[in-house]
Structure 1
């Protein structure tokens, strides 16, 4: 049974190809599934698969122990289709690997369309700094589950963002 709030979240949701979106989704009951390295890597593989399909261009993402932040440029698909396919693909992979039992993701997700005047790199820096703010690491380079298109060969977030 759907909760009334989930319907309100969808009201007014608009998917515009070419627009940048910050997406957030959390695990079922905020279970910290992605503390397990293999589980986090399967989710990352599902993110990258969405990009290979041409559904989106990933600009930055961070997989936290119980949620995901994903900055994308939407391509020729709706946000709801992108997230539904991503959640299905990642959930199936996690269950096949015996890393979960039952539901992986909570229903729904949060999205925020970036405005043209928004500083995309600033949004990406904020997103990627989540492990620092959560106290998971002392420096972002120590956290293994994030990426951004602005990375250089040196791998220094401060130099590229």
Structure 2
């Protein structure tokens, strides 16, 4: 019998943790292959392109989609998105909310891409989350979100190749 030739994916969610319970969650979702699909940083400020604007509209729709849950804070960067998801209801699983968000934004992205004869993938598989367990961590994460555009060149997701800059400004999908 031959062993699986593919590497085993690392489980990134907390084992035995109920992601539907009330609480605060810090979420990061990256663009496919970390391409700069959403705009660019100019003078420490995010300037979203049409795809970035669409992503933020869909993110805002999360506030009314799941009762008792809302986005407390967020920042869109050229190739990723951070937000704090607040679950006051204890009924909506974080994964279900992210799945809905990624599905709706991808659907809109693909419709626009098809209209101009382009194709592509919007999001990287999965997402990163951090369960916020205390006020000092909550404040540190909120500060990180506020300052993220100012520190773009220091960000671990930073990409500034010529090809990426061209893809950001051209963005044929919207």
Q: TM-score range with shorter-chain normalisation? A: 0.7 to 0.9
RMSD after superposition: 2.4
Give the number of aligned pairs.
134
For residue 25 of structure 1, the aligned residue among 20, 29, 37 is 29
For residue 45 of structure 1, the aligned residue among 35, 48, 57 is 57
Please say which structure displays the higher CA radius of gyration.
Answer: 2
Structure 2 residue runs without a partner (length 5+): 1-5, 40-47, 155-174
Look up the match of 2:77. 64
SS of the equivalent of 2:149 reads helix
TM-score (normalizing by structure 2): 0.68
Structure 1 residue runs without a partner (length 5+): 137-161
Which structure would you say has the larger RCO, counting Cα contacts within 8 Å and 6 or more residues apart? 2
TM-score (normalizing by structure 1): 0.73
Per the alignment, do residues 122 and 60 of structure 1 end up closer, same or farther by CA in structure 2, a change over 3 Å counting? Answer: same
Contact 2:13 2:129 in 1 (8 A): no
Stretches of 4+ aligned residues off by more than 3 angstroms: none
Distance 1:64 1:95 in 2: 20
Distance 2:77 2:54 in 1: 13
